[in-house]
Amino acid sequence: MLGQQLINGFTIGSIYALIALGLTMVYGVLKILHIAHAGVYAMGAYIGLWVYRLVPNLFLAMLAAMFLSGVAGILIERFLYKSMLDKSRIVPLIASIGLFIAMEETFRIIAGPYVKAFSVHFRQKPWILGSARISAPQMLVFGVTIVLLVLLWWVITRTRMGKALRAVSMDREMADALGVATEKIILLSFFISSALAGAAGVLVGVFYNSVYPTMGDIPAYKALAIIVLGGMGSIPGTILGAFLIGISETFLIGYVNVPLPRDALAFIVMIAVLMFRPYGLLGKE
Amino acid sequence: MLDVRNLEVRYGEFRAVHGVSFTVEDGELITIIGANGAGKTSILRTLMGFQPAYRGTITLNGKEITHLSAHERAKLGIGIAPEGRRLFGDMDVQENLEMGGYLIQDKSLLKQRLEAVYARFPVLKSRRNQRAKTLSGGEQQMLAIGRTLMGDPPLVLMDEVSLGLMPKYVQEVFRIIKELNEEGKTILLVEQNAKKALSIAHRGYVLETGRFRWEGEAQQLKDNPEVQRAYLGG
Ligand SMILES: Nc1ncnc2c1ncn2[C@@H]1O[C@H](COP(=O)(O)OP(=O)(O)OP(=O)(O)O)[C@@H](O)[C@H]1O
Ligand SMILES: [Mg+2]
């Protein structure tokens, strides 16, 4: 039972991590809350489903969803946020909420208001580990998450562009003075963030066998709780926060029989952590 | 090398710099001294491209750069050791230096520069894998200067690089600035420590509420009784 809860918790945590990472990276470079990120995530799910129906190859669907979501991220930065950066921070926040709603309505108009099935037939048998089992979709979630996290880690710690990205999120002006074309680096961070969200969208679509216009609603605010919990802008903090929330949620449902909506838990954990660590798990002032 | 004409800097309606003009010739070490709030940092920030010039022109080696972004100016050979050091605190010492050499494409050249900086600041080498924010104040200042040197900019802007350091380090920092200048770097040094700055500079400008009150050879300024009274402690 404990093992199974942990496996389920890590599955949910993986998905939260992929979504929240993008939010934290965007916050890092632009210091804005990119609510429409959850719209990009839903868009990724729709693109994945659409490609999968054309060519039933999940790998291809995933790549297409990531690439097109990444491009959408670039367009959002370029045409929405860029002109608002010298305004009060409430301006891009409101624009972002507006875009999120508009995206959901667009999905509804194009694909209809109903839940679409994203059914993938897995031939892989579940792995049995003692009393726990890891299903094929869970393996998919873990596999994709591990690959993407390792890739992200490699990019930001080993490549010139990735180091520049970290430098921009620490001190944009100084990075600029050292010759970093910061606008390009910001576009890069939107591309990476949005591609991760697109991947998360496909994973969730497959895992729950459903894609629908408002699927971004809950992730939109939960990812906020996670990045606040992790320490705004901190990549390791966000990953830690995502797994903490994912695991807490599955344990809450599995063990504690309290009439508490599962989706409120993220905020309860967030508030509890902030009481002791006002800047989040790994955040700084 | 650098020619600044009628530079005016504003924050909203507030005029921080009222149309100053000055030049920095190749190989010179020039200092701008002045009290808190005189506008020294505003001038340097505008030269680097952090802050737009409200009026006036900035010319570097005959090319007007008034409206270029900071990274374009970096490419043209301006480097800055800014006020407050502005290190990348969560990166280690070596990564900070690598960022300083961001524009260098050639790996072996980058390595060579890194070794040169480590040779100049051995303490940085022994702390190469330590995060910048965990260094002592003096070490951080060495790193800030080292980071600027990585790009080997012909013109270096330095903003109160001795601020907040122990006397031992203050001595050391001024010695290094002088040494860099003797090796051929053109340096524009902004300082509140007028005595020390004038002792190493060729020429100086004294800034008071956004205007130059005096300018001239460093020795001349040091001998000027009014400057002495106001800035040199008698
Ligand atoms: N971002 C800003 N917004 C508004 N006013 C500013 C800003 N930066 C500086 N000022 C004002 O401009 C004036 C000049 O400031 P500046 O920082 O250039 O002075 P400084 O000579 O560098 O002083 P210090 O020796 O204290 O560093 C000051 O009156 C300051 O309050
Ligand atoms: Mg200053």
- Which residues share a beta bridge with B30? B188, B203
Name the token pair of A193.
Answer: 């963030």
Residue among A54, A20, A63 nearest A202 (CA): A63
Look at A277-281, B67-71, B98-102, B197-201 and tell me which has the smallest mean pLDDT.
Answer: A277-281
Residue among A41, A43, A25 nearest A33 (CA): A25
Mean per-residue pLDDT, A112-132: 92
- Report H helices in chain B: 40-48, 70-75, 93-100, 107-120, 122-126, 137-150, 167-182, 194-200, 218-223, 225-231
The H or E element that residue A25 is part of is: helix A2-30
Q: Above 80 in pLDDT, residue B221?
A: yes
Look at A264-268, B9-13, B22-26, B54-58 and tell me which has the smallest mean pLDDT.
Answer: A264-268
Q: Which residues of B168-188 are buried (b: 16+ CB within 10 A; e: fewer)?
A: ebbebbbebbeebbeeebbbb
Q: How far apart are the first and last CA of chain A?
A: 40
Q: What is d(CA A221, CA B221) in angstroms, rounded to the nearest whole number?
A: 62
**Identity of the residue numbered B72:** E
All structural domains of chain B: 1-77+186-234 (3.40.50.300)
pTM: 0.91
Name the token pair of B16.
Answer: 């921080």
Give the model's pLDDT for residue B187.
98
Q: What is d(CA A12, CA A6) in angstroms, rounded to the nearest whole number?
A: 10
Enter the DSSP assignment of A78.
I
Q: Is B62 left (phi over 0), alpha (psi -120 to 50) or beta?
A: left
Cβ partners under 8 Å of residue A208, min gap 6: none
Q: What is d(CA B190, CA A4) in angstroms, rounded to the nearest whole number?
A: 64
CB of B209 shorter than 6 A to ligand 1: no
Answer whether B52 touches A (CB < 8 Å).
no
- Ordered by start, the domain boundaries in chain A are 2-218
Give the model's pLDDT for residue A111.
96
pLDDT tier, A283 (very low <50, low <70, confident <90, very high otherwise): confident
Q: Is B87 left (phi over 0), alpha (psi -120 to 50) or beta?
A: beta
Give the model's pLDDT for residue A72.
98
Contacts of A179 in chain B (CB under 8 A): 71, 74-75, 102-103, 151
Q: Above 90 in pLDDT, residue B39?
A: yes
Mean per-residue pLDDT, B131-151: 94
Give the model's pLDDT for residue B166.
87
Residues of chain A that touch chain B, judged by Cβ-Cβ distance less than 8 Å: 160, 163-164, 166-167, 170-171, 173-182, 284
Q: Which site among A174, A180, A185, A232 would you substitute to test the B interface, given the most B Cβ atoms closer than 10 Å to its Cβ?
A: A174
Q: What is d(CA B161, CA B168) in angstroms, rounded to the nearest whole number?
A: 14
Ligand 1 atom with minimal separation from the B45 CA: 18
Q: What is d(CA A105, CA A113) in angstroms, rounded to the nearest whole number?
A: 9
Q: Hey, are the CB atoms on B70 and A181 less than 8 Å from each other? A: no
What torsion do the CA atoms of B227, B229, B231, B234 make, to the nearest 10 degrees?
A: 130
**Identity of the residue numbered A61:** A
Task: Assess contact for B231 and B205: CB atoms under 8 A.
Answer: no
pLDDT tier, A255 (very low <50, low <70, confident <90, very high otherwise): confident
Q: Hey, are the CB atoms on B50 and A177 less than 8 Å from each other? A: yes
- Sign of the CA dihedral running A247, A248, A249, A251: positive
Task: Note the Cα A176 to chain centre separation in Å.
Answer: 28
pLDDT, tens only, A85-109: 889 989 999 999 999 999 999 999 9
Mean per-residue pLDDT, A206-234: 93
Residue in B75, B79, B102 closest to A164 by CB: B102
Q: What is d(CA A120, CA A209) in angstroms, rounded to the nearest whole number?
A: 8
Answer whether B70 touches A (CB < 8 Å).
yes
Q: Above 90 in pLDDT, residue B42?
A: yes
Q: Above 80 in pLDDT, residue B8?
A: yes
pLDDT tier, B234 (very low <50, low <70, confident <90, very high otherwise): low
Give the model's pLDDT for residue B184.
95
Q: What is d(CA A29, CA A164) in angstroms, rounded to the nearest whole number?
A: 11
Among B18, B42, B51, which residue has the most ligand 1 atoms within 8 Å of its CB, making it the best to mutate? B42
pLDDT tier, B159 (very low <50, low <70, confident <90, very high otherwise): very high
Q: Above 80 in pLDDT, residue A260?
A: no
Contacts of A164 in chain B (CB under 8 A): 99, 102
Give the model's pLDDT for residue B199.
94
Task: Assess contact for B105 and A181: CB atoms under 8 A.
Answer: no
Give the closest residue (by CA) to ligand 1 atom 3: B11
Give the model's pLDDT for residue B232.
84
Give the model's pLDDT for residue A268.
86
Average pLDDT, chain A: 93
Give the model's pLDDT for residue B114.
96
Enter the DSSP assignment of B30.
E
Enter the DSSP assignment of A68.
H
Furthest CA-CA distance within chain B: 53
pLDDT tier, A285 (very low <50, low <70, confident <90, very high otherwise): low
Q: What is d(CA B132, CA B144) in angstroms, rounded to the nearest whole number?
A: 10
Q: Hey, are the CB atoms on B86 and A171 less than 8 Å from each other? A: yes
Look at A21-30, B145-154, B162-171 and tell me which has the smallest mean pLDDT.
Answer: B162-171
Q: Above 80 in pLDDT, residue A261?
A: no
Give the model's pLDDT for residue A2.
84
pLDDT tier, A274 (very low <50, low <70, confident <90, very high otherwise): confident
CB of B110 shorter than 6 A to ligand 1: no
pLDDT, tens only, A241-250: 999 999 999 8
Backbone angles phi, psi at B124, to 5 degrees: -70, -35
Scan for tokens 């200042």, then name that residue: B141
Q: Above 70 in pLDDT, residue A120?
A: yes
Q: What is d(CA A237, CA A245) in angstroms, rounded to the nearest whole number?
A: 12
Enter the DSSP assignment of A126.
P
- Which residues share a beta bridge with B206? B33, B214
Other Cβ atoms closer than 10 A to B65? 18
Q: How distant is the Cα of A277 from the closest Cα of chain B, in angstroms?
A: 19
Mean per-residue pLDDT, B73-93: 96
pLDDT tier, A172 (very low <50, low <70, confident <90, very high otherwise): very high
pLDDT, tens only, A21-48: 999 999 999 999 999 999 999 999 999 9
